[in-house]
Amino acid sequence: MRILIVEDDALLGDAIQAGLKQSGYAVDWVRDGALADQVLATEPFDAAVLDIGLPRLSGLEVLRRLRGRKATLPVLLLTARDTVDDRIQGLDCGADDYLVKPFDMGELTARLRALVRRASGNTGPLLQIHDVELDPAAHRASYQGKPVDLSATEFALLHALMLSAGRVLSRAQLEEKLYAWGEEVESNAIEVHIHHLRRKISPTLIETIRGVGYLVR
Amino acid sequence: MLRKPSLKRHILTLALSAILLVWLAAAIFTYFDARQELNEVLDAHLAQASTLLVAQASHELEEVETDHAPMLHKYSRRIAFQVWEDGRELRLHSANAPQTPLGKQEQGFSDATINGQHWRVFSAWDDSSSLLIHVAEQAEVRDALARNIASNLLRPLWVALPLLAIMIWWAVGGGLRPLTRLTREIEQRAPDNLAPLDATATPAEVTPLVERLNQLFVRIGSTIENERRFTADAAHELRTPIAAIKAQAQVARGATDDAARIHSLDGAIAGCDRATHLIEQLLTLARLENVTADALEPCALHTLAARVMAEIAPAALDKGVHLELADGDEVVIPGLPALLTVMLRNLIDNAIRHTLPGTTVRLEVSSIQGSPCIAVCDDGPGLQQDELEKISRRFYRPPGTAASGSGLGLSIVSRIAEIHGARLSLSSGTSNPGLKVTVSFPHAVQ
């Protein structure tokens, strides 16, 4: 899953990036509102963490423009302003959730998981397709009731496919979900991870649509 | 308990005292005036009476049987007369007249004391100079009359005073009503209600008070608003570094490799440093709120600048920034050395934070047309024209600022300049484009 962080504070942005990476997300970080607006208009993300007080363009304005483009991307607002009015304004601008600084990294990741889950149409915390069960919070996967040991990238890949169950995801789309900018992606990386997943879980779990991409049904 | 002075009581006391005083003065004046008038009139009466007596006595003395004249009026008891034949034999006298001559003189007015009583006497001879006539009147009568007139004047006062008191009380109450209304309005105000009072219906005497109050309300309002904004801003500014510290610490706890853990711990420590710096700046600013420019002492700016630069130099060198103090004559100004040190440190610190490594921060102490100046120049990115105006606002940091600062440095500098009556101005530097901050002091030490 790929998350965009928009935060102008160097130390805080660095911490959120590191924390989300620990949870297996691909994380991109921009430090000003105008750049965030550009990136959100052109790149696909699964969720965004948006600070309100930003240089050049405020977080609320970024949000307003995003919703103006009819984008349904889940957005979590991050701010130091905590009056009821501030929260109402933030939510009314199109935010899906709201977190006041200082916050708990665990809570931030949990809220992001909930946002992504709801956005994908799932209501329960566990994703389940056939005999495969995925617990995004605990980073655990099981097949036919038995735990399966997956690497962070394998887990993220399976998570992405299961979130979009029934839809084909291209290799490029999967790469975008798995890797942040600047991260080196080997040309056959996705194929290798798919191969591992098939071996660890079931050869029939992930179907290949040749020349198009992969899907889970 | 001491009773509060009451305006109403005060005015009442003053008015009644004034009335009493004026009335008493009138009575005393009347008393003396009446006595003088009475003296004239009664003297004339005495003279006239004697003339009548002379006229009558000379014709009818032989026919008078009795040596007593009848009492005709209550005052007549106090009037006496004697008719002496040839000035030796008492022929006729009033009942209250003594047997001795009333007057020592034989002609005109005189005062006599007989049996302890004071008499006013008029003496005259008849035409044939055979009869000496004394007509006398007790002086007591005259005084009593004058006193009567004066006390008659005072008598209505005892009725008038309470009446006047009631009327004055009522009138003063009416006159003070706008004040009472104002008092009630202010009393009933909610403590946070700073809306202006209505000054249109108030009388001219009270209007300045209302206007001053309204000005005060505006000032208090803006002070409160400022404080509120400052507190909110301060809390906001503190939340970000604390959020960073917490997030970094949590990331460090969850890190699987040492490099990542150390990176996060370093981040947490840097966050602590930033929070500390911010808190120190906030405290400095808070302390400056109450500083006034008394007890100024001579401060040598050049020496002071050199000392502050020496103090900061190691940190500057760490960042690869050179410090340079321009040569110049010593300039001594009246100032508070501790505050000037804080000011210089903030100016240089700001310049170092925002300039690029490998460049130079220059400080210049000079005296331009008698006005001592400190100027700090850097080769940083400088500021846009619109940002030059916003920069000394509290917590303002220009967009895209990479350097971490509290956003309070220039607020502190600005406040210290204000305490010294100095002017703070910002302009573009000399290169790349740079920023030049100048503090101009009003005058050097005379």
Mapping DSSP onto H, E and C, the string for B261-275 reads HHHHHHHHHHHHHHH
Mean pLDDT of B30-55: 84
pLDDT at A137 over 60: yes
- What is the C-alpha to C-alpha distance for residues A34 and A59, in angstroms, rounded to an integer? 9
Domain of B154, CATH number, reads: 3.30.450
How does pLDDT run across B106-119, given as a tens digit for each residue? Answer: 788 888 887 778 88
- Within this chain, do residues B66 and B107 fall inside the same structural domain, yes or no? yes
Which of these three, A119, A143, A177, is where a domain ends? A119
Which of these three, A119, A140, A162, is where a domain ends? A119
Which of these three, A75, A98, A119, is where a domain ends? A119
B66 confidence band (pLDDT: 50, 70, 90): very low
CA A143 to chain centre: 24
Residue A22: burial class (beta carbons within 10 Å; 0-12, 13-18, 19+): buried
Residue B180 covered by a domain: no
- What is the C-alpha to C-alpha distance for residues B22 and B18, in angstroms, rounded to an integer? 6
- Within this chain, do residues B149 and B235 fall inside the same structural domain, yes or no? no
- Within this chain, do residues B233 and B115 fall inside the same structural domain, yes or no? no
- Within this chain, do residues A56 and A87 fall inside the same structural domain, yes or no? yes
- What is the C-alpha to C-alpha distance for residues A123 and A119, in angstroms, rounded to an integer? 9
Any residues with CB less than 8 A from the CB of B140 and at least 6 apart, and which? B78, B117, B118
Alpha-carbon dihedral sign for residues B138, B143, B147, B149? positive
Contact indicator for A100, A84 with CB cutoff of 8 Å? no
Mean pLDDT of B60-89: 65
- Within this chain, do residues B427 and B305 fall inside the same structural domain, yes or no? yes
E strands in B126-274: 131-138
Nearest chain A residue to B249, by CA: A15
pLDDT at B167 over 80: yes
Among A93-102, A140-149, B123-132, B169-178, whose mean pLDDT is lowest?
A: B123-132
Question: What is the nearest CA distance from A75 to chain B, expressed in angstroms?
Answer: 19
A165 vs A34 pLDDT, higher one: A34
Structural domain range at position A23: 2-119
DSSP label of B257: S
Domain of B394, CATH number, reads: 3.30.565.10
- Within this chain, do residues A47 and A147 fall inside the same structural domain, yes or no? no
- Within this chain, do residues A167 and A194 fall inside the same structural domain, yes or no? yes
Choose among A32, A55, A102: nearest Cβ to B242. A102
Nearest chain A residue to B399, by CA: A55
**Average confidence score pLDDT of chain B:** 83
**Average confidence score pLDDT of chain A:** 87
- Ordered alpha helix ranges (H), B255-364: 258-289, 301-318, 337-354
- Within this chain, do residues B251 and B368 fall inside the same structural domain, yes or no? no
CA distances (Å), origin A50, targets A13, A32, B286, B405: 10, 10, 32, 22
Structural domain range at position B432: 293-440
Residue B75 covered by a domain: yes
- Within this chain, do residues B15 and B155 fall inside the same structural domain, yes or no? yes
- Within this chain, do residues A37 and A104 fall inside the same structural domain, yes or no? yes
- Within this chain, do residues A95 and A146 fall inside the same structural domain, yes or no? no
- Within this chain, do residues A140 and A113 fall inside the same structural domain, yes or no? no
Residue B236 covered by a domain: yes
Q: Taking an 8 Å Cβ-Cβ cutoff, which residues of chain A contact chain B?
A: 9-12, 14-16, 18-19, 22, 32, 53, 55-56, 80-81, 100-106
Choose among B242, B247, B399: nearest Cβ to A19. B247
- What is the C-alpha to C-alpha distance for residues B441 and B420, in angstroms, rounded to an integer? 7
Residue at token pair 């899953």 = A1
How does pLDDT run across B402-430, given as a tens digit for each residue? Answer: 556 667 888 888 889 988 999 988 887 66
Any residues with CB less than 8 A from the CB of A63 and at least 6 apart, and which? A50, A75, A77, A90, A93, A94, A95
DSSP label of B195: P
Which of these three, B284, B317, B335, is where a domain ends? B284
Domain of B242, CATH number, reads: 1.10.287.130
Mean pLDDT of B333-356: 89
Residue B167 covered by a domain: no
Residue B300 covered by a domain: yes
Most A CBs within 10 Å: which of B231, B250, B274, B387, as the mutation test of the A interface?
B250
- What is the C-alpha to C-alpha distance for residues B46 and B141, in angstroms, rounded to an integer? 13
Structure-token pair, residue B159: 């009725």
- What is the C-alpha to C-alpha distance for residues B120 and B286, in angstroms, rounded to an integer? 93
- Within this chain, do residues A162 and A93 fall inside the same structural domain, yes or no? no
- Within this chain, do residues B121 and B246 fall inside the same structural domain, yes or no? no
- Within this chain, do residues A181 and A115 fall inside the same structural domain, yes or no? no
Question: What is the nearest CA distance from B323 to chain A, expressed in angstroms?
Answer: 27
Contact indicator for B91, B58 with CB cutoff of 8 Å? no
Domain of A173, CATH number, reads: 1.10.10.10
Residues of chain A contacting B251 with CB distance shorter than 8 Å: 15, 18-19, 22, 105
- Within this chain, do residues A151 and A175 fall inside the same structural domain, yes or no? yes
Residue B318 covered by a domain: yes
The single-letter code of the amino acid at B101 is P
Q: In this predicted structure, what is the pLDDT of residue A163? A: 84
Instruction: Name the CA radius of gyration of chain A, rounded.
Output: 18
Contact indicator for B371, B440 with CB cutoff of 8 Å? yes
Mean pLDDT of A156-183: 84
- What is the C-alpha to C-alpha distance for residues A164 and A174, in angstroms, rounded to an integer? 11
Question: What is the nearest CA distance from A57 to chain B, expressed in angstroms?
Answer: 9
Nearest chain A residue to B234, by CA: A80
How many separate domains does chain A show?
2
Residue B14 covered by a domain: yes
pLDDT at A104 over 60: yes
- Within this chain, do residues B340 and B422 fall inside the same structural domain, yes or no? yes
Does A81 sit within 8 Å of B236, measured CB to CB? yes
A118 vs B398 pLDDT, higher one: A118
- Within this chain, do residues B330 and B352 fall inside the same structural domain, yes or no? yes
- Within this chain, do residues B119 and B53 fall inside the same structural domain, yes or no? yes
How many separate domains does chain B show?
3
Which of these three, B108, B131, B162, is where a domain ends? B162
- Within this chain, do residues B276 and B314 fall inside the same structural domain, yes or no? no
CB-based contact, B255 to chain A, within 8 Å: yes
Residue at token pair 């009869």 = B131
Question: What is the nearest CA distance from A123 to chain B, expressed in angstroms?
Answer: 28
How does pLDDT run across B270-327, given as a tens digit for each residue? Answer: 999 888 988 888 888 888 877 777 788 999 999 999 999 998 888 888 889 989 898 8
Which of these three, B284, B307, B329, is where a domain ends? B284
Choose among B247, B263, B271: nearest Cβ to A105. B247
Inter-chain contacts counted by CB atoms under 8 A, chains A and B: 83
- Within this chain, do residues A114 and A131 fall inside the same structural domain, yes or no? no
* Cβ density class B352-391: b for 16+ within 10 Å, e for less: bbbbeeebebbbbbbbeeebbbbbbbbbbbbbeeeebeeb
DSSP label of B102: S
CA distances (Å), origin B390, targets B385, B395, B410: 9, 10, 10
Question: What is the nearest CA distance from A85 to chain B, expressed in angstroms?
Answer: 14
pLDDT at A195 over 50: yes
- Within this chain, do residues B307 and B417 fall inside the same structural domain, yes or no? yes
- Within this chain, do residues A104 and A161 fall inside the same structural domain, yes or no? no
CA distances (Å), origin A129, targets A122, A166, A177, B310: 12, 10, 20, 69
CB-based contact, B239 to chain A, within 8 Å: yes
Q: In this predicted structure, what is the pLDDT of residue B393? A: 67
Structure-token pair, residue B272: 């602590």
CA B312 to chain centre: 50
In degrees, rounded to 5, the angle at the alpha carbon of residue A84 between the alpha carbons of residues A80 and A89 is 80
Residue B158 covered by a domain: yes
- Within this chain, do residues A39 and A115 fall inside the same structural domain, yes or no? yes
The SS3 assignment for B399 reads: coil
Mean pLDDT of A120-127: 75
